[in-house]
């Protein structure tokens, strides 16, 4: 089965950039444009030095995009595969793995671009950076049940994708991606702590910027992942039978 979702994911990545002259280079170009733009316009608002603000956004943004992408992709994970679900008896998890593989690929391209640009601008990794690996694994570990659950619920309740779309637009402002977690206090801090994205982001970003992620983030992210798996298994056992009729 692994071969199936890998091939499908790779095919979809290719077809997204097929017939464009720059092809896969667009992943890097649009990433650098966004990160560069944000660093220029918002860097001044942060207490961080210009260089470290750039590193903060360069690492944080791809991880944020990977996390948040699950929401919209999740709603479409089965509806977008309707032609296959109606013609093949492959397990539904194949479509979830395919969807995640398709987002992880640009993530790694952006991460490599980020590390190259950061090395050129004075960033040096420490041993702590290795902690980003379990952080990333936890991000992927919650992506699977999240997309699975959203896929089923989104196929049944068509309002979900609109709700998710509306919320998603706000998330970049609510989550500490372009502003620093450390700069905040009071209500904004409370919002950041209550936002699950903050913690998953911290697990990946903090080690790469040289600090051990806060214990509370580790605990919250781990608990949320377990809860999400439980929710996804319940949703899928109740809804899987009806799925072909809903999409």
Partner 1 sequence: MPRIVVENVELVHPLFSGSNEISTPSTESRFVVNKAGRTVGVRALNGVSFELSEGTRVGVIGRNGSGKTTLLRVLAGILPPDRGTVTLEGHCTNLININLGTKGDASGHRNITLQGLASGHSREAIEEKRDEIIEFSELGEFLDFPVNTYSAGMRMRLSFAIATAFKPEILLLDEWLSAGDVEFRRRASERMASFVERAGVLVLASHSQSMLESNCDRALWLDHGEIVQDGPVNEVFSAYQAKFGGA
166 in contact with partner 1 (CB under 8 A): no
The footprint of partner 1 on residues 86-125 (CB under 8 A) is 86-90
The footprint of partner 1 on residues 64-93 (CB under 8 A) is 83-90
Exposed, middle or buried by CB within 10 Å (0-12, 13-18, 19+), for 3? Answer: exposed
Tokens of 158: 């068509």
DSSP one-letter code for 92: T
7 in contact with partner 1 (CB under 8 A): yes
Q: Which of 4, 48, 172, 174 binds partner 1 (CB under 8 A)?
A: 4
Distance separating alpha carbons of residues 213 and 220, to the nearest angstrom = 12
CB of 227 to partner 1, least distance (A): 28
Nearer to partner 1, 75 or 206 (CB): 75
Within the chain, where are the H helices?
Answer: 2-17, 25-42, 50-76, 82-85, 93-120, 132-156, 159-174, 186-194, 196-208, 215-239, 243-246
Piece in contact with partner 1 (CB under 8 A), picked from 5-13, 30-38, 106-114, 229-237? 5-13
Nearer to partner 1, 110 or 236 (CB): 236
CB of 3 to partner 1, least distance (A): 6
244 in contact with partner 1 (CB under 8 A): yes
Piece in contact with partner 1 (CB under 8 A), picked from 7-15, 22-30, 101-109, 223-231? 7-15
Contact 38, 178 (CB under 8 A): yes
8 in contact with partner 1 (CB under 8 A): yes
DSSP one-letter code for 46: S
CB of 159 to partner 1, least distance (A): 10
Distance separating alpha carbons of residues 148 and 116, to the nearest angstrom = 34
Contact 171, 197 (CB under 8 A): yes
Piece in contact with partner 1 (CB under 8 A), picked from 72-80, 191-199, 223-231, 238-246? 238-246
Q: What is the 3-state secondary structure (H, E, C) of 50-64?
A: HHHHHHHHHHHHHHH
Distance separating alpha carbons of residues 129 and 203, to the nearest angstrom = 10
247 in contact with partner 1 (CB under 8 A): no
Instruction: Give me the residues that bind partner 1 (CB under 8 A), please.
Output: 3-4, 7-8, 11, 15, 18, 83-90, 241-242, 244-246
């Amino acid at each position: 089965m692994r071969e199936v979702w890998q091939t499908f994911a790779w095919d979809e990545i290719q077809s997204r950039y097929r017939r464009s002259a720059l092809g896969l280079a667009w992943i890097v170009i649009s990433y650098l444009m966004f990160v560069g733009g944000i660093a220029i316009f918002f860097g001044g608002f942060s207490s961080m030095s210009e260089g470290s603000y750039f590193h903060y956004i360069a690492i944080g943004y791809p991880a944020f995009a990977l996390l948040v992408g699950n929401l919209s992709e999740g709603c479409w994970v089965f509806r977008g595969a309707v032609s296959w679900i109606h013609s093949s008896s492959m397990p539904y998890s194949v479509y979830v793995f395919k969807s995640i593989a398709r987002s992880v690929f640009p993530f790694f391209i952006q991460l490599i671009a980020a590390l190259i640009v950061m090395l050129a601008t004075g960033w040096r990794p420490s041993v702590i950076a290795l902690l980003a690996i379990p952080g990333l694994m936890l991000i992927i570990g919650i992506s699977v049940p999240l997309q699975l659950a959203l896929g089923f619920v989104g196929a049944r309740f068509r309002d979900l994708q609109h709700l998710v779309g509306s919320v998603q637009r706000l998330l970049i402002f609510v989550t500490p991606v372009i502003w620093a977690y450390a700069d905040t206090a009071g209500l904004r801090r409370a919002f950041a702590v209550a936002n699950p994205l903050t913690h998953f982001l911290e697990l990946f970003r903090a080690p790469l910027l040289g600090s051990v992620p806060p214990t509370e983030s580790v605990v919250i992210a781990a608990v949320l992942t377990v809860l999400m798996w439980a929710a996804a298994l319940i949703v899928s056992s109740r809804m899987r039978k009806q799925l072909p009729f809903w999409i």
